[in-house]
Amino acid sequence: MTEIPREALSDHFQLRMEGRRLRSAVLLTYQFDPGFFEQEVLPVFFDIGLSHASAIRLLQLEDAIRDLAGEIAVYYDAGGLVVGDAGSAKLDVRYIPIQHNAIFHPKNVLLLVEDEVADENDERQLYLIFACMSANLTRSGWWENIECCHVEEIAHGDKNRLKEDLTKFLQSIKRRSPGGTTHTAIDDILTFLRASEQRKQKSIAGELQSHFYRGGESLPEFLKRHIGSQLKGGYLEIISPYFDDADQCDPLEELIRLFEPKDVRVFLPRSASGEALVRKELFESVTDLPKAGWGRLPKDIMRRGSREEYGERFVHAKLYRFFTQSPKREICFLGSPNLTRSAHQKDGNIESGFLVEVPTPRRPEFWMSPELKTPTEFAVRGEDDGSDSGSSPLNIRYNWDTETASAFWDHKANSSVLRISDRNVPLGDIGPLACREWIELSSEIATAIASILDNTTLVEVHCEGEKPAYVLIQEEGMSHKPSLLLQLSTADILRYWSLLSAEQRAAFIDSRATDLAGIGTGTDLVVRAKIALDNDTLFDRFAGFFHAFGCLERSVRKSLDDGQPKQASYRLFGKKYDSLGTLLERVAAQRETLDAVDGYVILMCCKQLCIEIAKDYPDYWREQMDYTKKLNARLADLASVRKRLLKENEHGFGDFLTWFDKWFLKRATPAEVADA
């Protein structure tokens, strides 16, 4: 038997990310567990050290996501939300539900990445890592099931066979999204693809190039168009966990008609108790097909562990394997389509997959052995099994910047009155809502929604006559959402600004957040120790202030020069643990205990930073007028600190402060060294 390739999904992506940093990411899934995704999947895409403790890891991820040049977006089926043990979403990721008359069923990962190290021209090479797989963004999909995945990689400007189909696919996802949705991550990838060239040849040197299935035609038509008669009369092996609740398997019979295989094996899915997960009549119809039969995967793949009593894993892979033995050739289609009508027809599910030729140094053989154990019990399981609730067309957004909430009813007819609740605690009634139009909700509803967002972003929607459904609240203006759990002191904020690398910042948060180690998973792996503060001299202390503000200013300037105002706004105006605004709040809160000289110098550094950024980036500063007014109001604390200094010092100190203020705010011009 040909050896079956196997690898852990997370390990593969981590290897791909070594020496690279993420710019933007688009992920598509049917079932979606937002808490598991943030805690266990998202860290795979960052090549930095992260804490084992879930609470601290979220803090570190919050920091890493803020520094992205682009955005992370997840598109999921509105009826596919899974409420897992890891909780709900907390990070600055855009979550977009898709309504579809069948199932939004693709499973894709698209990562726009760049080299960590620049080349001799101070440029970083861009790549697109593009995966089609069978795994949902859930615990079972990434950790438990048997899944399949294929990854393609495109370098910037490369000629490839995927450009046109992937471009059309992403554009169709944008059209299917709720109106008024921004698609920064998709747009970043589309811009990348425009720089590449579509390869016209289907094959090179007799080897089929990888092709992407985006729908728009039935799956059999796609396979026939690209494979043609190349593997006609060969062998066909199919792995699919789901079948139609029907007397016969029409998609299988269509593939047999098109490719005329000499032998066909189809995986027979079973429950943990041994039931065949197909209708009895369909089981018998496949058995009666000429040269076709049911198959079983090897035990060493199926087992959960090394011992029989651990049981078998659920097979969730979707794979269509065509091969011939003379000549030796193998072509596989893998991705999201099950062996069902809705997955194979043109106007059914939204599906995706890769058609790839696999190198075959040895003669290909079946992976599966014939299924010799005839089932006595049958239970049909549908493609849409496994979600925790019904599907609702309701979309809810909360904007932390404006402290407002809005709703969008993604349906062709208006809604009735809807009741939203958090774990059976009513938050209020909304509606009726006009169809496909964003409606701002009352301030009472907005306040009720804001009150729960520290704990959960999942709410239950109740509509008369319908099954209750979970809806994931989409958070916007995340720079103004109070930081997750951690509150740093004034000294710690300044120290944090001084750190140069992502690894240093992650380690710093780990050391300062040990009090959080009792929250969430991984707590037993965290060392309960804090880094002791150094004994500072007066010079060390003030040099540290200036160095910290210098690092902050360079970071803000780089963000603005690189066309990334979001990162600059996070640092200057946000409410995160290391934002300038947060530092000013700490100084104000400590005005009675903080050394007056320290406080005054820190506030003068803040004022100088604002003056310099406003002078060199006037357009940006004007665009942020609402925020700059608030920042200036906080800087008014300078007056109170100044009065305290004057009160605590001798007569004549006011003249010194007047001189000090003038020269402190005047930026020194570096002297030029004259030629000898």
The pLDDT score that the predictor gives to residue 76 is 97
The pLDDT score that the predictor gives to residue 518 is 46
According to DSSP, the residues that pair with 303 across neighbouring strands are 312
Q: Within this chain, do residues 52 and 178 fall inside the same structural domain, yes or no?
A: yes
Residue 282 forms part of a structural domain: yes
CATH number at residue 131: 3.30.870
Structural tokens at position 371: 């299924």
Residue 644 forms part of a structural domain: yes
The pLDDT score that the predictor gives to residue 524 is 44
> 88, 474 in Cβ contact below 8 A?
no
Residue 192 forms part of a structural domain: yes
Residues with Cβ within 8 Å of 284's Cβ and at least 6 positions away in sequence, in order, are none
Residue 505 forms part of a structural domain: no
Q: Within this chain, do residues 360 and 264 fall inside the same structural domain, yes or no?
A: yes
CA distance linking residue 521 with residue 85, whole number of Å: 10
For tokens 């852990």, name the residue. 8
CA distance linking residue 131 with residue 13, whole number of Å: 10
Residues with Cβ within 8 Å of 558's Cβ and at least 6 positions away in sequence, in order, are none
Q: Which of 338, 355, 370 is the last residue of a domain?
A: 370
CATH number at residue 304: 3.30.870.10
Q: Within this chain, do residues 49 and 189 fall inside the same structural domain, yes or no?
A: yes
Q: Indicate the SS3 state at residue 180.
A: coil
pLDDT tens profile 219-276:
999 999 999 888 889 999 999 999 999 999 999 999 999 999 999 999 999 998 889 9
Residues with Cβ within 8 Å of 478's Cβ and at least 6 positions away in sequence, in order, are 92, 400
Q: Indicate the SS3 state at residue 171.
A: helix
Strands (E), 218-325: 235-239, 263-267, 292-296, 319-325
Residue 525 forms part of a structural domain: no
Q: Within this chain, do residues 194 and 257 fall inside the same structural domain, yes or no?
A: no
Q: Within this chain, do residues 235 and 348 fall inside the same structural domain, yes or no?
A: yes
The pLDDT score that the predictor gives to residue 513 is 61
Structural tokens at position 489: 């002191």
The pLDDT score that the predictor gives to residue 490 is 76
Residue 387 forms part of a structural domain: no
pLDDT tens profile 459-499:
999 988 788 899 999 999 988 888 755 567 777 777 777 87
The pLDDT score that the predictor gives to residue 485 is 52
CA distance linking residue 612 with residue 361, whole number of Å: 65
CA distance linking residue 664 with residue 601, whole number of Å: 9
Residue 291 forms part of a structural domain: yes
Q: What is the dihedral of CA 498, 503, 507, 513, to 10 degrees?
A: 80
Q: Within this chain, do residues 549 and 612 fall inside the same structural domain, yes or no?
A: yes
- State the burial class of residue 262 (Cβ atoms within 10 Å of its Cβ: 0-12, 13-18, 19+): exposed
CA distance linking residue 507 with residue 51, whole number of Å: 8
Cα dihedral sign for 648, 653, 654, 660? negative
Q: Which domain holds residue 568?
A: 534-665
Cα–chain center distance at 505 = 21
Q: What is the dihedral of CA 510, 512, 518, 521, to 10 degrees?
A: -20
The pLDDT score that the predictor gives to residue 313 is 92
Q: Within this chain, do residues 165 and 219 fall inside the same structural domain, yes or no?
A: no
Which of 123, 121, 55 lies closest to 91, judged by CA?
55
Q: Which of 178, 198, 218 is the last residue of a domain?
A: 198
The pLDDT score that the predictor gives to residue 390 is 73
Q: Within this chain, do residues 230 and 304 fall inside the same structural domain, yes or no?
A: yes
Pairing relation of β-strands 203-204 and 458-463?
A: unpaired
The pLDDT score that the predictor gives to residue 487 is 62
Residue 122 forms part of a structural domain: yes
Q: List, as one string, the DSSP characters of 554-617.
A: HHHHHHHHTT-HHHHHHHHH--STT-HHHHHHHHHHTTTTS-HHHHHHHHHHHHHHHHHHHHH-
Q: Which of 308, 338, 370 is the last residue of a domain?
A: 370
Q: Within this chain, do residues 96 and 42 fall inside the same structural domain, yes or no?
A: yes
Q: Within this chain, do residues 541 and 590 fall inside the same structural domain, yes or no?
A: yes
- Ranges of residues in the chain whose predicted pLDDT is under 70: 1-2, 305-310, 384-389, 484-487, 500, 502, 512-540, 591-592, 638, 667-676
Q: Within this chain, do residues 83 and 99 fall inside the same structural domain, yes or no?
A: yes
Q: Within this chain, do residues 97 and 235 fall inside the same structural domain, yes or no?
A: no
What domain count does the chain have?
A: 4
For the chain, counts of helices (H) and of strands (E): 22, 26
The pLDDT score that the predictor gives to residue 523 is 45
